[in-house]
Chain A
């Protein structure tokens, strides 16, 4: 029925099967939309946020998808600025994943601000002393850049490409994509950093507070670094999941291994910096505020020292060692283990820097503030996943996302 829209030389599942798949994801999407409408019409009393948790599950999800969506800017930087030509075979998918991540982040923020009709206030009545203002500026601009990077792919659809104007527009956009990629890398550096700067400047929260350079705490640089390191791993992970679902090889192994190798070195250098930062914080910064390391990891039902070991050793040192070594990258099992651990590491880091920060007691008469999200918060956090599944499915079916697909699957 829709065969005229499907790229030439590739095989796709029957329309009924595709419709069932989209229907299943659509049902989850509707559940999330219902919860979103509840939050908009009834207010933030639909959440379990309170005076202790002004930031909660949504902000963690926001920071996590932004970090994981960092694969788009870093892969674009490597492809267009550094000149790693092999990455042209995965850049489309990295851009698509980045587009989904950033649009999801903006959607979550639109729910989180409670009054989305006043969302434009941050641009017009900007608080120029706030790192979050910089985040809002860069996030929005970078989403525009990602849209510009995604549009040429849409224009390559078989039917759209027949329209002479769209064909030329797509070609022109490809021609100057390096300008957009450089702008995207610039914007990403600052908004990823400022997201890290937000906890780092909270001098009233000794768990998060860090020293730094000029106005930037060390967390500013660590966030940018970790996003550049773990973002490409998320691109590889989603590619792997797509390959498993479609039962096809979509990207050549040398491309995956190149991206994994670069990620491995980025994670390795990041985790060294993170360990130094943690040691300095544990030995100097926190004691100066009257806290010992174990004050942050004891006397509560959830946040034990295990979470620090999980973040730094299991999801930091281990994936770095796996991805740096050729043996680790060549073995599919260890490769995917390293990739999954790296993705998990970024998520744990953001969880700790958003939610554990809120949980830790600061004053002597306070106790740990634990938090459990409401179903509305969970549903609206799952909403972007369903949205992502739908957009990836539509893009995979109708757009030439993977340039090597035809070559790798000649029987199709």
Chain B
């Protein structure tokens, strides 16, 4: 649910619940975007091929 939906009410419950959800999704989304973006960049620049996972 987004704030522009008709069900939205500007109260503490909506802000905490939905804010928490979007906050968590944002962290996950940004984290994955960084990983995928950096992987594309490194592959393109031929960097990091000898990095080992640990």
- Chain A residue numbers with a CB within 8 Å of B40 are 165
**CB-CB nearest in chain B for A129:** B13
A180 at interface by CB-CB < 8 Å: yes
Number of interface residues of B (CB under 8 A): 30
Contacting residues, chain B, for A310 (C-beta < 8 A): none
> Would A176 and B39 count as touching, CB distance under 8 A?
no
Residues A176 and B1 in contact, CB atoms below 8 Å apart: no
Contact B20 A176 (CB under 8 A): no
Spot the interface stretch: A110-118, A137-145, A261-269, A373-381.
Answer: A137-145
A224-260 interface (Cβ within 8 A of B): none
Number of A residues, CB within 8 Å of B: 34
Q: Does A302 contact B (CB under 8 A)?
A: no
Whether the Cβ atoms of A144 and B28 lie closer than 8 Å is yes
Q: Which residue of A lies closest to B17 (CB)?
A: A128
Task: Please determine whether A172 and B38 come into contact, CB atoms closer than 8 angstroms.
Answer: yes
Known contacts: A124-B1, A172-B34. The answer to whether A156 contacts B53 by CB under 8 A is: yes
Interface residues of A in 166-219 (CB under 8 A from B): 167-174, 176, 179-180, 183, 186-187, 190
A88's partner among B7, B34, B54 (CB-CB below 8 A) is: B54
> A165–B35 contact, CB under 8 A?
no
Does A123 sit within 8 A of B, measured CB to CB? yes
Given the complex of chains A and B, what is the CA–CA distance between A167 and B52 in angstroms?
A: 9
Please, which residue of chain A has its CB at the minimum distance from the CB of B20? Answer: A137
Find out whether the CB atom of A186 lies under 8 angstroms from the CB atom of B24.
Answer: yes
CB distance B54 to A174 under 8 Å? yes
Which residues from B are CB-within-8-Å of A6? none
**Which of B7, B13, B25, B53 is in CB contact (< 8 Å) with A171?**
B53
Query: Is the Cβ of B28 less than 8 Å from the Cβ of A180?
Result: yes
Q: Is A164 at the interface (CB under 8 A from chain B)?
A: yes
In Å, the complex CA distance between A129 and B9 comes to: 13
Cβ–Cβ contact A164 & B43, under 8 A: yes
Within 8 A of A (CB), among B7-22: 7, 13-14, 16-18, 20-21
**When the two chains form their complex, are residues B38 and A125 in contact, meaning their CB atoms are under 8 A apart?**
no
Q: How far is the CA of A174 from the CA of B18 in the complex (A)?
A: 29
Whether A134 is near chain B, meaning CB under 8 Å from some CB there, is yes
In the assembled complex, how far is the CB of residue B15 from the closest CB belonging to chain A, in whole angstroms?
9
- Contact of A172 with B35 in the complex, beta carbons under 8 Å: yes
Closest chain B residue, CB of each to CB of A175: B35
Pairwise interchain contact A141-B1, C-beta atoms closer than 8 A? no
Candidates A126, A168, A173; contact of B42 at CB < 8 Å:
A168
Contact A170 B13 (CB under 8 A): no
- Most chain A beta-carbon contacts within 10 A, residue among B1, B38, B53: B53
Contact B1 A125 (CB under 8 A): yes
Docked pose: A124 CA to B13 CA in angstroms: 15
**Contact assessment for B1 and A137 in the assembled complex, using a CB-CB cutoff below 8 Å:** no
Identity of the chain A residue whose Cβ is nearest the Cβ of B21 in the assembled complex:
A137
- Besides A126-B1, A144-B28, 12 new A-B residue pairs in contact (Cβ under 8 A), listed by A number: A123-B21, A124-B5, A126-B18, A141-B24, A141-B25, A164-B49, A167-B49, A167-B51, A168-B49, A168-B51, A174-B54, A190-B20
